[in-house]
Chain A
Amino acid sequence: MAGHWLRILAAGLLAASVAGGCAAKGPAVFDKPAIDNIHALAVPPLQSPQDPSAGALVSGMIGVRLQSARLPELSVIEPPVLWRLGGGPAGAMTDEDALRIAREMGADAVLTGTVTYGVAFVADSTTPRAMRESMKARDFQRDFGARKATTSVNLRILSVKANRAVYAHTGAAGGGEGSELLAKAVQAALKPFEDYVRTSR
């Protein structure tokens, strides 16, 4: 009898956790048969409307991450970097542009997407009040404010052969600052792809 009630309780808890959003959200697009045909992946700069360098920085992090993970039968290709001479990546890249780059480089797919990165200053209450009052609010925040950044990385992998997205997933992170935060968001966005490639080959 007790076992019966325990089973009902477990089912109830499971239903509540799913309804409450505890179940991990999977990628929005995850075409596994198409991913099986990807052996060379081009990683051009991602778009980043807020901070122009963040997108290119994250694409570099992704390139290094995927390459050093040594995923079976997957190599990373760095698309041409002449855009660096002009100070930064030029404007938004269309899917057609991305696929053209992948084709030119002999890649099977190209990774595109967007990055958002914002920093907020939060007053640090541990500093003495007299000091806080003696400085201009802006200077105080700049020098002593705790910085809290939030970031999200939205990735799409476009297959050259299928001419469409075969993977789309978003990762987000917040609370700290710097590359660790970006790395966390990248990891969340790439994890299902990496896990699948690692186990399926």
Chain B
Amino acid sequence: MSRTQVLSSSLLACLLGASALLAGCVPKTNIYDAYALTEARRVAVMPGLGAPGPDGTNAGTAESSLLITSLAGLDYYQVEGPGRIRKAAKAGLATRPATSRSLQAEITDRLDIDLLVLADVTDYRFTKQWRSASWFVGSSQWTETTYWAGVDMRIVTPDDGRIVYSGSGSASSRRGYGPALQQATGKALAELARFLADAKARRAKK
């Protein structure tokens, strides 16, 4: 290979690399504040919202419970539901609106809650398909049901509302809504789980 050929192939490789970077091949992360995520000790999962449409009305409650269990399973934070916040907010909400920044900051500060977890179920529906098969001695007909679930979650700081993590996941299952929602939640949490496992390992090394 001549020197010119070597130079031109290196140049081509450089150009390809640069164009890949410019085209957005740099890995994207959903972690926006690593410090806030690693330093937090106690997080509260707020009530989730159900998906629009006829099936998803109560899906938000199911998702909140699932998220409490899943986050606790990461073994990094002390995870709690909205119970203590609800109790503490009762008196404050009589005099101030639910959109009051100072009320939210006061309550979470008093209860020592570092981060709030919000989860919304974006998809919660099923589809049925008619199936039939012909056999040598006859035919059979049956229906197949597929359950679909989608989850959007974000973790925010309670005093200034900064988003420190966001994740989304969707899944389908033939067995029911439970497995679909569980898989979708797992996907939404996947990056956070990896990040916190690394943080725990780093902490253990020190």
Contact = CB atoms under 8 A, between A and B. Distances in A.
Contacts of A84: 46-47, 49, 82, 118
A80 B98 contact: yes
A143 B130 CA distance: 11
B141 A68 contact: no
Interface in B55-70: 56-57, 60
A104 interface: yes
B100 A178 contact: no
Contact of A53 (B49, B85, B161, B170): B49
Contact of B163 (A57, A78, A178, A182): A78
A75 B53 CA distance: 31
Interface in B2-59: 28, 30, 32, 46-47, 49-54, 56-57
Contact of A56 (B57, B120, B125, B160): B120
A141 B102 CA distance: 49
A179 B184 CA distance: 13
Contacts of A149: 53
A26 interface: no
B32 A67 contact: yes
Interface of B: 28, 30, 32, 46-47, 49-54, 56-57, 60, 82, 85-86, 89, 93, 97-104, 107, 116, 118, 120, 122-123, 125, 128, 130, 132, 141, 143, 148, 150, 152, 154, 156, 160-163, 166, 168, 170
Given A56-B49, A63-B163, A85-B98, 20 more contacts: A48-B52, A53-B49, A63-B166, A64-B163, A76-B163, A77-B162, A78-B156, A78-B161, A79-B101, A80-B101, A80-B161, A82-B98, A84-B47, A84-B118, A106-B160, A117-B52, A144-B130, A149-B53, A178-B122, A179-B170
Contacts of B47: 84-85, 87
Interface in A72-99: 75-88, 90, 97
B162 A178 contact: no
Contacts of B128: 143-144
A54 interface: yes
Interface of A: 42, 44, 48, 51, 53-54, 56-57, 60-61, 63-64, 67-68, 70, 75-88, 90, 97, 101, 104-106, 117, 119, 124, 126-128, 131, 142-144, 147, 149, 177-179, 182
B122 A182 contact: yes
Nearest to A88: B49
Contacts of B98: 80, 82-83, 85-86, 90
B148 A64 contact: no
A119 B124 CA distance: 13
Contacts of B60: 53
Contact of A104 (B101, B141, B150): B101
B185 to A, nearest CB: 15
Contacts of A67: 32, 154, 163, 166
A63 B168 CA distance: 12
B161 A179 contact: no
B75 to A, nearest CB: 26
A92 to B, nearest CB: 13
